Amino acid sequence: MNFSIAGAPGLTDEEFRILRDYIYRRCGMYFEDSKKFYLEHKLGTRLKELGSRSFSQYFMEIQQSGGDETEIQEIFNTVTTTETSFYRNAPQMQTFRNLVLPEVVENKFSSGNRTLKIWSAGCATGEEPYTLAMLVLEGRSSFPSDLRIEITASDINRSVMNAAERGIYTARAAQRLPVELRERYMTPHGDGFRVNREVRDMITFRFFNLANGTRYLSFGKMDIVFCRNVLIYFAEASRRKALEDLSRVLNPNGFLFVGYSENALMMSSRFSLVYYNKRPVCYRMASSKGSMHRRIRH
Ligand SMILES: C[S@@+](CC[C@H](N)C(=O)[O-])C[C@H]1O[C@@H](n2cnc3c(N)ncnc32)[C@H](O)[C@@H]1O
């Protein structure tokens, strides 16, 4: 039997390849060879809890159970990277507040549609959708009074989403928010802060696997999608597919925000870059009005 540190089963090269391919097929994430020890460490602890003697036995048990969804969920919860923060990437947040929201709301207003839909896809512990909700509230006095705002936040990791729904954060985490937002939309709670109910009530948290293309439209068409620091963990084919699917979810005047380091990975001709303060910050649908010939520069 092959054991790694602390008595957890070790992962052979062959088992690593099986595990990597399995995770890729289920959720689009792809682990390079250099991540073998990461997976061994993360899942080894789970195997120890279950009393599995080896990864091969673990796979066999999952397969024999016909793909035990609870165990597959455990894998998602264990292997995903969930690092996030409030007001992450300030230029993107400023663009959302100052450029994208007013434009999308104006388009809604002129088309007679009164529902603004925003999706935080891969929301982790919730800092991203809560920041968006706070910024929407900041702009709200200039929006038509009958505008409905729906924010959906989703993830494949149920454990972080449960934490997100509670909306409770350490003081250190909350410090990433500009102080005026923290004072207006959070309340001291124990040693940290809790997001106020007004903000929590704006968000619906839902499980969603971005590698499952068939269900992309289950939340309806979106005006603004944030899918930041998620696709970077995907293999190229699954990333391409997810981008195609996201382009179908967006309304023709919609906007897509990806992570800073993901800009270089955007290979879809369906989107064109939007600049703010001379920096590339997000994407709009390439077919949308004016975008073919005019890149927005502020
Ligand atoms: C690094 S966090 C990014 C959080 C936030 N978007 C941000 O930029 O701060 C990546 C999140 O994507 C989620 N994720 C990974 N693969 C996913 C998939 N196939 N479907 C949905 N979410 C996924 C992870 O569970 C994790 O919470």
For the Cβ of 155 lying below 6 angstroms from any atom of ligand 1, the answer is: yes
For the Cβ of 261 lying below 6 angstroms from any atom of ligand 1, the answer is: no
The pLDDT, as a whole number, for residue 2 is 54
Mean pLDDT of 272-298: 71
Residues 188, 249 within the same domain:
yes
Mean pLDDT of 253-261: 92
Mean pLDDT of 1-12: 65
For the Cβ of 258 lying below 6 angstroms from any atom of ligand 1, the answer is: no
Q: What is the CATH number of the domain that holds 9?
A: 1.10.155.10
pLDDT single digits (tens) 101-113: 999 999 988 888 8
Residues 97, 49 within the same domain:
no
User: Which position has the higher pLDDT, 285 or 228?
Assistant: 228
Burial profile 92-130: b = 16 or more Cβ within 10 angstroms, e = fewer: bbbbbbebbbebbbebbeeeeeeebbbbbbbbbbbbbbb
Residues 221, 279 within the same domain:
yes
Q: Give 124 Cα–ligand 1 centroid separation in angstroms.
A: 6
The burial class, CB within 10 Å (0-12 / 13-18 / 19+), for 258 is buried
Please report the atom of ligand 1 found closest to the CA of residue 212.
Answer: 19
**Residue 24 structural domain:** 5-79
Mean pLDDT of 164-180: 98
In a domain, 121, yes or no: yes
In a domain, 85, yes or no: no
The pLDDT, as a whole number, for residue 63 is 81
Q: Which of 192, 181, 177 is nearest to 88 (CA)?
A: 177
Residues 53, 121 within the same domain:
no
Task: Please count the structural domains in the chain.
Answer: 2
The pLDDT, as a whole number, for residue 4 is 52
In a domain, 130, yes or no: yes
The pLDDT, as a whole number, for residue 265 is 67
Residues 112, 74 within the same domain:
no
For the Cβ of 164 lying below 6 angstroms from any atom of ligand 1, the answer is: no
Residues 134, 279 within the same domain:
yes
The pLDDT, as a whole number, for residue 296 is 44
The pLDDT, as a whole number, for residue 291 is 44
Q: Give 81 Cα–ligand 1 centroid separation in angstroms.
A: 7
pLDDT single digits (tens) 27-43: 999 999 999 999 999 99
Residues 22, 120 within the same domain:
no
pTM, entire model: 0.93
Domain boundary among 24, 57, 79: 79
The pLDDT, as a whole number, for residue 7 is 63
Residues 94, 30 within the same domain:
no
In a domain, 295, yes or no: no
Residues 57, 108 within the same domain:
no
Q: What is the CATH number of the domain that holds 211?
A: 3.40.50.150
Of 1-5, 105-109, 127-131, the one with minimum mean pLDDT is: 1-5
Q: Give 289 Cα–ligand 1 centroid separation in angstroms.
A: 31
* Contact by Cβ (8 Å): 204, 151: yes
pLDDT single digits (tens) 32-78: 999 999 999 999 988 988 888 899 999 888 888 777 788 999 999 99
For the Cβ of 229 lying below 6 angstroms from any atom of ligand 1, the answer is: yes
Q: Give 16 Cα–ligand 1 centroid separation in angstroms.
A: 22
Domain boundary among 79, 109, 128: 79
For the Cβ of 125 lying below 6 angstroms from any atom of ligand 1, the answer is: no
* Contact by Cβ (8 Å): 20, 31: yes
Please report the atom of ligand 1 found closest to the CA of residue 29.
Answer: 16
Residues 159, 52 within the same domain:
no
Mean pLDDT of 232-257: 92
Domain boundary among 46, 79, 112: 79
Residues 231, 281 within the same domain:
yes
Arithmetic mean of pLDDT over the chain = 90
What is the C-alpha to C-alpha distance for residues 275 and 282, in angstroms, rounded to an integer? 7
Residues 95, 192 within the same domain:
yes
For the Cβ of 262 lying below 6 angstroms from any atom of ligand 1, the answer is: no
Q: How far apart are the first and last CA of the chain?
A: 62
Mean pLDDT of 112-119: 94
